[in-house]
Structures are given as C-alpha cells and as structure tokens.
C-alpha cells in the first residue's frame, strides 16, 4: 500500500505495541488512569459480545464504503482499512479459547479496532469517524439476530418434520382426546401429534415477524444526534442486508423493542415445547403407557435399575421457565430507561444469546425424542372407555330427531345409572333405546371408536380424511425433505 494520504501522519502510525494499551479503551483521552479492576470486571462485555465479531467486522466493512462515498476516506484509505479488517477477521477466526481469554479489551468493538491498528496502523484511526459504539452495537446485534432467526427456523422445522412423520404413521391409531386431562372423546393419534405442529408453525411466523422488525439499520445514527458526515444510509442498508433504515437517531440507539419481541417469540417456542414435553412425560408413564421413549433419549437411575427416565422432556419443560425469565428480566431492564443509549442496554445480549442457545440445544433433542418415539397402538385404544361415547350416543338421538339438549339429558341419566350400577353404558343404552327411543336407532353404532372418529370429518376434525387433508396442509408449511442444520 503506498502512503498517499495527505495531511499529518495518522496517530495510528506508531508501533502497534505502543498503541495497544490505550486502545484497549476507546475513550482513554480524557481519563487520568485505567478503570478500577472491579469496575472493569462489571463493565467489560467482551466475554459475551465476542460472538458478534463477524457482524462487527461486516458493519465496519460497510461503514468504510459509506465513508469513502461521503468523501471522508480516500479510495486508498478505504481499501487499506478493508484489507486490514479482512486480516483481523482471519486472525479472530483462528483464535482459540486462550487467545480470547488473554484479550483484556472492553468489548468486541474495542478489540476489532485494536487489532485493526495492528493490521493497518496507518489508517486504522479513521475507521470510527462519524460512528459511535451506540449505533455500532445496535447494528451488530440486529445482524446477529437476523441470522439467529434463520437458524432457529431450521431447528423448529426439524421438530415439525418429526411430528409430521409420526402423524403420517398414526392416522388410524385411536386414543383418548382429553379436556381437563379427563378422557373426553376418541381422536386419531395423528390429530394429537399435529396439535403440537401448528403452534410451532405460528412460532415460525412470529420469529419471521420479529426478524423483520430487527432488520432496520441503526448505523449512521452516531451516539445520539446522527452522523455529521454525508453517509448514504440507504447504501449501508443495501450492503448489510437490512430492510429499512431507522428514522430517528435518538430512538435508533435506544430501541431494543425488537429484542423484547424476539425474547417473547423464543419464550413462546419454549412454552410450546414444555407443553409437548408434559404430554410425553405423562403418556410415557406406566399409568398411560401410550408412548415409549427410545433408549437414546432416556436416562437411567443411579439407584433404581428398572428406571427409564424422560429427562430430555423434563428439561424441555423446565427450560420454558428460564426463557420466560430472560424475557421478564429484559422487559424490566427496558422499563423506565431515559431517552438515548444507556449502558443498561448492554444486558440485551446475555438475554438474547442465552435464549437462543437454550432453544438451539433443546429443539434437536426434542425432535430426536419425537422422531424415535414408539406409539403403542393397543395401549392407546385400550384407554378409550365406553363413557367416552356418550356424546356419540346423544348425537345418534339427534339424528333421530331428538333435540340435542334432551338427548344430552337422557344420555346423562344413563351414564349415572351405569356408574352406580356398574353395568356397561352400551348395554343400558341398547335397553333404553329398545323401550323408549325412536324406533330405528341402533346404539351399538355409537360405541365404535373408529366410527366415532370418522364422523368428525368437518375441516380440522379428527376423521382420517380430515387428518389427511391436514397433513397435506402441514407438509406445505415446511421445507421438503428437510435434513436439519
């Protein structure tokens, strides 16, 4: 690189070692000494925000293009800084844990800039022109989140595929449908499985919506008042893949609404996983025995040799609480903050990263558990007791012209007699209908689970044909033959 820049030699031209220490702090000039170690320990965010190093470099690469277009940098300076940033990227990519542990910089922005001073000492000092860490960190975090949503979407689809495949195998498997956790009416096992598919479908929509709101570019807002150089923010938006630019610099550096939305969307995913998990814990117990977990997703007891525990599902149930905690915690951080950037906002990243990592670990394990589940057809069918046909019996009477309220009353009385006498509801119904019922009603038709299910063929119902339509609809919502990743 030839030294073409005019004006005095940039300060960054000093030997890297000489500048390294002050550059660990980007704001050292007006301070007499280094921060107290306990202050540094509290204030430093590098251990958390280091995972945004790629986004930080991407933001800086775009920023120098905008500075050059604004006439702030020469073409040579721009390319020198860009090459320096690429070298910094390669270095960080190769960094192992000890390298990160040895870096004492305040945050990822300080670290990247310090390394840039090592890689491009002549020009590095010009990178931060017109920019603040306030608009920089908001940009980096949004970029990170935009990628994270894509990753989560893929993980959710993994679970949706597991549910779909099980549902396809079990359209004709009959089981009790529950309300109030009391046996209510017979349903297809596929109908139950798919009842856990659709909440995840809504989660994906919610995450995509949260991503849309994250994809608004704050860069070019400076610390609070905007950028005094004529940077083209639309150009920046294009380069970085954002959808729009923020309209107000004060709001741009302070807005974390999109973080709250993402945290909510993620905690709702967690809530859905916890409900699926609870179903599976129950259904896997000896008392239900509807499902059996694969050995690969069960754990043993150190004391009781016979135990096979559904730990993965219990953890799924518990993690929802942690996710909700992150949401509540961060909402409380936001509440009552004054305008503009405040350091409180640094707490957005632990909340986001923790929530993301939780789901990132959870979703594949839940998908594996569901995918390898064995559903016991006969245990499911055996749990359908005759009282569950009480509605079908009433419906039969309705078909014979009895008003529903009256039919409900009549069948209710029969159920009570059956409970008190110990006689079967089916036998009682046959007798009752023979003596008092409308002539052509055959009560045995009501007591057949397959027929009961078949009758519920309106859209969204549990009849095999309706479930097959639903499966087609569900298949269309996920990427075909999704392999994970």
Q: Which of 73, 120, 127, 137 binds ligand ARG (CB under 6 A)?
A: 137
Annotated active-site residue 249? The verdict is no
Q: How far is the CB of 109 from ligand ARG (least distance, A)?
A: 6
Q: How far is the CB of 479 from ligand ARG (least distance, A)?
A: 34
Q: How far is the CB of 106 from ligand ARG (least distance, A)?
A: 7
Q: Which is nearer to ligand ARG, 137 or 210 (CB)?
A: 137
Please choose, out of 52-60, 338-346, 409-417, 438-446, the segment that lies near ligand ARG by the rule CB under 6 A: 338-346
Q: Which is nearer to ligand ARG, 114 or 170 (CB)?
A: 114
Contacts of residue 435, Cβ cutoff 8 Å, sequence gap at least 6: none
Please choose, out of 15-23, 131-139, 453-461, 477-485, the segment that lies near ligand ARG by the rule CB under 6 A: 131-139
Q: Which of 34, 285, 294, 301 is catalytic?
A: 301
Q: Which is nearer to ligand ARG, 134 or 191 (CB)?
A: 134
Q: Which of 180, 302, 421, 435 is catalytic?
A: 180
Give SS3 for 187.
strand
Q: Which is nearer to ligand ARG, 46 or 466 (CB)?
A: 46
Q: Which is nearer to ligand ARG, 25 or 468 (CB)?
A: 25
Q: Which is nearer to ligand ARG, 115 or 402 (CB)?
A: 115
Q: How far is the CB of 62 from ligand ARG (least distance, A)?
A: 18
- CA-to-CA separations, 221 to 133, 224, 446, in angstroms, rounded: 10, 6, 69
User: What is the token pair recorded at 352?
Assistant: 């986001």
Q: How far is the CB of 374 from ligand ARG (least distance, A)?
A: 48
Binding residue count for ligand ARG, defined by CB under 6 A: 10
Per DSSP, the residues of 211-256 read HHHH-EE-TT-TTTT--SS---HHHHHHHHT-SEE-S-HHHHHH--
Please choose, out of 33-41, 59-67, 82-90, 133-141, the segment that lies near ligand ARG by the rule CB under 6 A: 133-141
- 3-state helix vs strand vs coil in the chain, percent to 5: 65, 5, 30
Q: Which of 80, 122, 134, 355 binds ligand ARG (CB under 6 A)?
A: 134
Site for ligand ARG in 26-55 (CB under 6 A): 45, 49
Contacts of residue 208, Cβ cutoff 8 Å, sequence gap at least 6: 149, 153
Q: Any idea which residue has 């129950």 for tokens? A: 282
- CA-to-CA separations, 131 to 45, 79, 199, 228, 414, in angstroms, rounded: 19, 19, 42, 9, 79
Q: How far is the CB of 49 from ligand ARG (least distance, A)?
A: 6
Report how far apart the first and last C-alpha atoms of the chain are (Å, whole number). Answer: 41
Annotated active-site residue 301? The verdict is yes
Distance, in Å, from the CA atom of 256 to the CA atom of 46, rounded to the nearest integer, reads 20
By the 8 A CB rule, do 127 and 81 touch? yes
Please choose, out of 60-68, 71-79, 130-138, 300-308, the segment that lies near ligand ARG by the rule CB under 6 A: 130-138
Site for ligand ARG in 271-330 (CB under 6 A): none
Q: Any idea which residue has 């859905």 for tokens? A: 272
- Phi-psi region for residue 35, left (φ > 0), alpha (ψ -120 to 50) or beta? beta
Q: Which is nearer to ligand ARG, 117 or 133 (CB)?
A: 133
User: What is the token pair recorded at 93?
Assistant: 């990519």
Q: Does 345 contact ligand ARG by CB under 6 A?
A: yes
What are the phi and psi torsion angles at 245 (to 5°)? -115, 150
Instruction: Return the active site residues.
Output: 180, 301
Contacting positions for ligand ARG (CB under 6 A): 45, 49, 107, 133-134, 137, 341, 343, 345-346
């Amino acid at each position: 690189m030839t030294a073409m820049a005019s004006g005095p030699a940039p300060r960054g031209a000093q030997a890297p070692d000489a500048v390294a220490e002050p550059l660990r702090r980007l704001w050292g000039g007006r301070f007499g000494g280094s921060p107290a170690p306990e202050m540094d320990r509290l204030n430093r965010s590098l251990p958390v925000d280091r995972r945004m190093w790629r986004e930080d470099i991407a933001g800086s690469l775009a920023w120098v293009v905008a500075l050059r277009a604004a006439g702030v940098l020469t073409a040579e300076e721009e390319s020198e800084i860009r090459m320096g940033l690429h070298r910094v990227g390669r270095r960080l990519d190769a960094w192992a844990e000890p390298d990160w542990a040895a870096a004492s910089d305040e945050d990822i922005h300080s670290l990247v800039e310090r390394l840039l001073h090592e890689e491009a000492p002549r020009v590095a000092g010009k990178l931060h022109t017109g920019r603040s860490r306030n608009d920089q960190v908001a940009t980096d975090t949004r970029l990170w989140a935009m990628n994270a949503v894509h990753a989560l979407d893929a993980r959710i689809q993994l679970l949706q595929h597991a549910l779909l495949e099980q549902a396809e195998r079990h359209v004709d498997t009959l089981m009790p449908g529950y309300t109030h956790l009391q046996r209510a009416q017979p349903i297809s096992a596929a109908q139950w499985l798919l009842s856990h598919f659709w909440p995840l479908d809504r989660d994906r929509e919610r995450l995509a919506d949260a991503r849309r709101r994250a994809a608004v570019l704050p860069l070019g807002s400076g610390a609070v008042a905007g950028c005094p150089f004529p940077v083209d923010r639309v150009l920046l938006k294009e380069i970085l893949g954002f959808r729009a630019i923020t309209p107000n610099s004060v709001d741009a550096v302070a807005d974390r609404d999109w973080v709250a939305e993402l945290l909510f969307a993620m905690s709702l995913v967690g809530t859905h996983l916890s409900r699926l998990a609870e179903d599976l814990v129950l259904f896997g117990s000896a008392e239900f025995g509807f499902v059996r977990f694969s050995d690969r997703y069960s754990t043993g007891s150190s004391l009781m040799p016979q135990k096979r525990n559904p730990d993965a599902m219990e953890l799924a149930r518990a993690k929802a609480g942690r996710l909700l905690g992150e949401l509540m915690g961060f909402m409380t951080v936001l509440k009552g903050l004054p305008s503009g950037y405040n350091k409180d906002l640094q707490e957005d990243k632990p909340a986001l990263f923790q929530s993301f990592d939780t789901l990132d670990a959870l979703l594949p394990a839940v998908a594996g558990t569901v995918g390898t589940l064995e559903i016991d057809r006969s245990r499911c069918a055996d749990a359908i007791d005759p009282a569950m046909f009480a509605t079908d019996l009433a419906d039969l009477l309705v078909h014979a012209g009895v008003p529903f309220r009256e039919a409900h009353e009549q069948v209710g009385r029969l159920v009570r007699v059956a409970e008190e006498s110990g006689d079967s509801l089916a036998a009682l119904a046959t007798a009752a209908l023979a003596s008092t019922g409308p002539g052509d009603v055959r009560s045995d038709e009501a007591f057949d689970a397959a027929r009961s299910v078949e009758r519920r063929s309106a859209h969204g119902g549990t009849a095999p044909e309706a479930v097959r339509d639903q499966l087609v609809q569900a298949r269309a919502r996920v990427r075909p033959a999704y392999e994970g990743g």
